[in-house]
Structure 1
């Protein structure tokens, strides 16, 4: 399913969760794991007039980065995962994206902090920036997997589809993942608004039927669900109600200022749920 996985770590609890999840996926798929830490410019930590302090801080930051990578590498090797570590200086989102491209990664795993109250309205700026610009799937996680490396990561995943090309890509990716990991699929279509437009139900059922047929052709167990209301809320609540272990969404690749929103639905879902959210933007190559 995956051949190269990139995970970024900064030493936070949510970064540690991302590393644990990436190791678990690599252990299941046989993918090579690339662990990256991005070191910020030392000038960000010192005042401009303290020239000598910059070198001291740079050495300290680099030392801490190497320690983080060594810890992640040890965990990966304990799980018998092929791993390499990298540290680079620069902008966090830019370095993550460039490293993913350089290493031909087909999955990026990023940690996001679990927030409450009004803070849930925003995703972390680094995660948001990477997910907005990424060309490959991005997995956003907030907690480490419950299963040990090598064990199944769950039993059921929810994939939301609206019938768009990017939704179709999410369905395709979900089917491939389900076939590899023996997941069951929950296929969800949400009709926006409390009072759906005439014909919306018929259209929604047709979209679900097409997705279900594709799953059946691949030998995947799937059940169809048609909901109405706020789309992101319905996705999050349905995933919880159906005891799903993750959510897969398609996201349109936008340009300019629109990229900052990632895709309002995928962004909102990733913010609201505690489940892993896989954001898919283009079809994966078939090996």
Structure 2
């Protein structure tokens, strides 16, 4: 049914558990997996004339975020390898995370976006489910929302 599934992660315990569920789902479908980490865009210092020596250059920031993304997605990649699934990973840069997720799904030809939800309501849903809600409202592709009922324990 689905040939290519986009699984998003931000490196949190919640998203790691969601990603594991996404890989299991992809295995059931026999689908390829594309893991995605969206990093914030580089922020130039407010006062460009006075850049602290410890402030990273744009190139250093991009390389660090790519390493961070690869680290966050490594568990997904290992799970895909164990499951015998075709897989890939991508670090993208945007301050509008949800829109970038939608764009990547379209550009990469993903049939499904697999995302997590904390299962909260009220203010918790507004604050913590905003990326998922925005993806749902901006895409025409199917989105499977994996809901975590209990808060995971950090490992």
Both proteins in one fold, TM over 0.5: yes
Query: Does the 8 Å contact 2:26/2:33 carry over to 1?
Result: yes
Q: Are 1:202 and 2:67 an aligned pair?
A: yes
Distance 1:262 1:163 in 2: 14
- Please identify runs of 4+ aligned residues in structure 1 that moved more than 6 A: none
Q: Partners of 2:128 and 2:97 in 1: how far apart?
A: 16
Output one character per residue of 1:206-259: Cα deviation in whole Å (capped at 9) or x when no partner. 112221111111211111111010211111000001111010111223354222
Q: Which residue of 2 aligns with 1:223?
A: 88
Match of 2:36 in 1: 188
Deviation string, structure 1 residues 65-103 (Cα, Å, up to 9, x no partner): xxxxxxxxxxxxxxxxxxxxxxxxxxxxxxxxxxxxxxx
Larger RCO (alpha carbons 8 Å, 6+ apart): 2
Give the gaps of 5 or more residues in structure 2: 44-57, 150-155
Q: Deviations over 1:9-57 (max 9, x none)?
A: xxxxxxxxxxxxxxxxxxxxxxxxxxxxxxxxxxxxxxxxxxxxxxxxx
Supply the distance in 2 between the matched residues of 1:171 and 1:215 (Cα, whole angstroms): 10
Q: Alignment partner for residue 18 of structure 2, among 145, 159, 170?
A: 170
**Secondary structure, in 3 states, of the residue corresponding to 1:188?**
strand
Contact 1:169 1:280 in 2 (8 A): no
SS at the partner of 1:158? strand
Matched, 1:281 2:147: yes
Counterparts of 1:42-191 in structure 2 under 5 Å?
153-191=1-39
Deviation at 1:261, TM superposition (A): 5.9
Give TM-score, length-normalised by structure 2: 0.75
Higher Rg: 1
Can you give the 5+ residue segments of structure 1 that lack an aligned partner in the other structure? 1-152
**Normalising by the residue count of structure 1, what TM-score does the alignment of the two structures yield?**
0.42
Q: CA RMSD in A?
A: 2.1
